[in-house]
Amino acid sequence: MSAPRRVVITGLGVTSPFGVGPAALADGLSAGRDGFAPLEGRLGALPPGVGAKLDLPRKEFKLWFDTRVLRLSTMTRQTQLGCIAAGDLLKSLDMVPDGSKHLDRGAFLGSFIVPPDFAKQVRAIRILSHRPEGEETGFVLDDGRLAEAMKFASAFDFLRALPNMPSSHLSIQTGYQGPACTYLGSDASGMQAIGMAVQVIRSGQATAMIAGAAFSPFQEVHLAWQHKRGLWNTDEGAGGDRVRPYSTQAGSLPGEGGAVFYLEEREMAEARGATILAEITGYGQRMIIPDAAGQADVRAEALRAALPDGTPDWVAPSGLGRPDMDRLDDEAHRLAFGAQSAPAVVAVTPHIGFSGPATGPLGLAAALLTGRGDATPARITVDADPGCATLAGGLARAGRTGAGATAVASSFTVDGVHAAIGVRIEA
């Protein structure tokens, strides 16, 4: 039986509140900035009232993908963020789509089902179905108003709600006709998308994959739901000061973004002379019912599967900012790598917020950039929660950089889905 194929990362595309591209993320983290600002309109009236968004005019989307092929009317915000990140990645690799089809490549993207704003459709329905003048009850359907109603609604709008649209758009954008899947259902789906893409290449089903996640939490129902779960910090004060995972002032704020990786078989990458950023050391995925026994053990198993040999120089943990989850996060890292391993921590949430499924891949991107020396994130000192001393201390610590440095990024969720990816940096 032949050994599994080795998988390497040769490209990275990013969208974050700091801008488009890995360099924008690296610069923001290194400068210690954050992207938080008050939310406007109805979103501003909901907790937490603050979030981190990418400020990119729609007219500039065409710099990253062909808007004549990918209709904006069929794309949710997360689909847009994913395609912009993919466009950034492809430009960096000089692989701008030219209409070619690639049967041996595929696209996996993690996201989350967040219904788009159907305000236009509601307005159209209210025009068609209305209460007759002078009547106190009842509604009538007036076909004579159809032309007026259709000014506010399009059949294309409903395509945005289909859960498979993010990876479908990515496949169309790239011309990749190999495996395609949108991973949904938990905040670990971005890490699952990367891990399963690695498995696809290792098994020989594809020679290369674009994989990662993109997400935008800025929808009323989603913000309210995450607030109900205890994720948002509603205290007064500057945005960055309200996001302090592993501390006695734990909390989080919403942010949007995406990160996608170009994964390929090592032999193929070397044959084409690609610059190898890192090699995947492992992927761990575990699931357990929330509140069941062994929560930390299961998370530790995922971490060990990501880096089977040795201890990491860098870790990019979930950084949820919810005390119970932070303590499990810390315990899992100690169980997996030993209490004395003391890895340095790369945390993206204090800078760009919690972006659900995209948080893990953005953390992996930040750890990759940091491990290579392309970013030097400003170290953070917090008043540590006694149950989070390992990870809290790692926020103020710098780790090894350069060839041979290792990093593990993980996503541990409230839903009991846990995933981790390990990498070894190359020159």
Chain segment 128-166, per-residue pLDDT in tens: 887 878 888 888 888 888 888 887 777 777 777 788 889
212 and 146 within one domain: no
Compute the average pLDDT of residues 13-19. 98
- Predicted local distance difference test score (pLDDT) of residue 163: 83
Compute the average pLDDT of residues 342-368. 96
* pLDDT tens-place string over residues 53-67: 999 999 999 999 999
- Domain end, chosen from 131, 158, 185, is at 158
Residue 236: inside a domain: yes
80 and 143 within one domain: no
312 and 268 within one domain: yes
C-alpha 384/C-alpha 326 separation (Å) is 11
Residue 79 has pLDDT above 60, yes or no: yes
Structure tokens at 251: 């909390």
Neighbours of 381 (CB within 10 A): 10
Domain count, the chain: 2
Structure tokens at 75: 């794309």
Can you give the CATH number for the domain in which 347 is found?
3.40.47.10
For residue 32, give Cα distances in angstroms to 35, 48, 68, 83, 241.
10, 22, 38, 27, 12
Structure tokens at 209: 């994959």
Residue 363 has pLDDT above 60, yes or no: yes
Domain that holds residue 153: 119-158
Residue 421: inside a domain: yes
268 and 241 within one domain: yes
C-alpha 423/C-alpha 311 separation (Å) is 12
Residue 1: inside a domain: no
Instruction: List the Cα angle 340/346/352 in 5-degree steps.
Output: 150
- Predicted local distance difference test score (pLDDT) of residue 186: 93
* pLDDT tens-place string over residues 197-234: 999 999 999 999 999 999 999 999 899 999 999 999 99
132 and 23 within one domain: no
Q: Is beta strand 406-412 parallel, antiparallel or unpaired with respect to 50-52?
A: unpaired
Residue 118 has pLDDT above 70, yes or no: no
C-alpha 67/C-alpha 62 separation (Å) is 6
Helix axes 165-174, 77-92, angle to 10 degrees: 30
- Predicted local distance difference test score (pLDDT) of residue 150: 80
Residue 323: inside a domain: yes
151 and 59 within one domain: no
Determine the length of the chain.
427
213 and 319 within one domain: yes
Question: What's the mean per-residue pLDDT of the chain?
Answer: 93
Residue 231: inside a domain: yes
Handedness of CA 39, 348, 373, 88 (dihedral sign): negative
281 and 136 within one domain: no
Residue 106: inside a domain: yes
Q: How confident is the model at residue 117 (pLDDT cuts 50, 70, 90)?
A: low
322 and 268 within one domain: yes
Compute the average pLDDT of residues 305-326. 96
Whether 311 contacts 214, CB under 8 Å: no
For residue 216, give the nearest of 348, 87, 317, 353 by alpha carbon: 353
C-alpha 336/C-alpha 345 separation (Å) is 15
259 and 152 within one domain: no
CA dihedral in degrees (174, 60, 218, 388; nearest 10)? Answer: 70
pTM attached to this predicted model? 0.93
176 and 128 within one domain: no
* pLDDT tens-place string over residues 82-106: 999 999 999 999 999 999 999 999 9
